[in-house]
Structure 1
Amino acid sequence: MNREELLPVLFTIKYYGRAGRYQLSRMLNLGEGKVRNILRRLREQGFIEVKRGGSKLTKKGEEYLDNIFKGLGIKKIAVLYNKEEYFKDMIIVCAHLKAYEVKNVIDLRDEAVRNGAEGALIGIIVDDSIFLPPDIGYLKDYFPLLEKKVKEVFEIKEGEVVIITFSKKYNKALIGCLAVIKKFSELS
């Protein structure tokens, strides 16, 4: 199993605190057998402990996930919910990355959609606001509540990058976001 298969499971367990096989299968749209194999492998490596209430990351698992995040330039990932009409039925996965040079936003958004997200916004922090390159404007001009939420969840600094992917399904928003992050890390 490669890191791309493990990462969504590890993140989901970390984010939700504890997750069972059935819950992970449903959330990530993976077969129960696949999830069982992933959990077995994670347990064998000492990354999770499995109890009756579900799986939980161990200290070793937390460190492993943090090292992956650090290697990909991820400062934090969060699942957000937004009350703005456009996002009313959407699950939003937002990643806060170190400063990267953003070259081709269209390719990055396409990468998210190819990997299941219904859409994506790539922003750069400029003057304490989220600017949407190449010249779309500021996130607050289109989705003020979303920008406010992002600022509440993340400690953003000048030049850093925010990736916002969304879908009606959690797994598609998450996989789309992770695909964009991977693309960023390949370009740097």
Structure 2
Amino acid sequence: MIKTFIYQLSETILRGEEMSWKRGAYPEFTLEDAVATLFLLKTPRGRKQISEDLDLGEGSVRTLLKKLAKLELIESKQKGHYLNEKGLNVLFQILTLFSEPAEVEKVENMPTYALIVKNPPQFKSIDLRDEAIRYFAKGAMILVYKAGEIVFPEDERPLKETLPRLAEDLKKLSPKEGDLIVVTWAENRADAIKSAIHVALTLKKNELPKEILEVGE
């Protein structure tokens, strides 16, 4: 009976911890969350909506928004939080490095997002794919735009030969010669978006505006 009671107590504690996490009792967030939030706040959004969009606890979102406000990047009104002039300037600087993740043709029937990394440094595709998976993606493709085609950098094989609909979607992102294209997919939309951002940050973190880097400090 004592063992049964201890087991039930342990289960209750674990369920309580899980519920607390879902309610956002642990205010933790990543640089990827901060960048994704800047993209979201081009239009006003409430804290609950941000929490749902990023699959992030409301406590974490509250802390993140407080930091963004302290850095004078966002303001609030009845409709929600939004980027002010300084915040829009920081976002513009980020967009000179990589684009906002865009939803594209599904891969493996999962939510799939893509972004363009501009003027990429030298990279190894396998390392970048590993980074995406480490950040909760189920899979990733690292592609480049070369001579008017989206190709795999290892052998310059055109993506359209195997995934023509995805290749067509990616061309709508208007890549330029030499651009790197990150495609990530995951079981939920938030993980697909943030894993793509994670790959971009792996390549471009050192070029980010200091204001966004300060959010994570």
Q: TM-score range by the shorter chain?
A: 0.7 to 0.9
1:36: which partner in 2? 62
What secondary structure does 1:162 align onto?
strand
1:52: which partner in 2? 78
Residue 118 of structure 2 aligns with an amino acid whose one-letter code is K
Question: 1:157 and 2:176 equivalent?
Answer: yes
1:94: which partner in 2? 114
Alignment of 1:1-188 (within 5 A): 3-14=31-42, 17-70=43-96, 73-74=97-98, 76-82=99-105, 86-88=107-109, 90-135=110-155, 137-152=157-172, 154-185=173-204
CA distance in 1, matches of 2:138, 2:205: 23
- C-alpha RMSD of matched pairs (Å): 2.4
Residue 147 of structure 1 aligns with an amino acid whose one-letter code is A
Q: Which structure would you say has the larger Rg?
A: 2
- Unmatched segments (≥5 aa) in structure 1: none
CA distance in 2, matches of 1:135, 1:80: 26
Residue 200 of structure 2 aligns with an amino acid whose one-letter code is I
Distance 1:115 1:3, change over 3 A: closer
- Once the two structures are overlaid, the 10-residue window that deviates more, 100-109 or 126-135, is 100-109
CA distance in 2, matches of 1:18, 1:29: 18
- What's the offset of the Cα at 1:63? 0.7
CA distance in 1, matches of 2:129, 2:156: 14
Q: Is the 8 Å Cα contact of residues 99 and 160 (structure 1) preserved in structure 2?
A: yes
CA distance in 1, matches of 2:167, 2:92: 25
CA distance in 2, matches of 1:137, 1:33: 46
Residue 135 of structure 2 aligns with an amino acid whose one-letter code is N
- TM, length-normalised to structure 1: 0.82
CA distance in 1, matches of 2:206, 2:51: 32
Residue 189 of structure 2 aligns with an amino acid whose one-letter code is Y
Distance 1:179 1:13, change over 3 A: same
Post-superposition Cα deviations, 1:45-74, rounded to whole Å, max 9, x if no partner, equal 33222223222222211111222343xx21
Q: Is the 8 Å Cα contact of residues 128 and 158 (structure 1) preserved in structure 2?
A: yes
- Once the two structures are overlaid, the 10-residue window that deviates more, 102-111 or 37-46, is 37-46
- The number of aligned residues is 179
Q: Is the 8 Å Cα contact of residues 79 and 91 (structure 1) preserved in structure 2?
A: no
Moved over 3 A (4+): 1-5
- What's the offset of the Cα at 1:187? 9.6
CA distance in 1, matches of 2:169, 2:103: 8
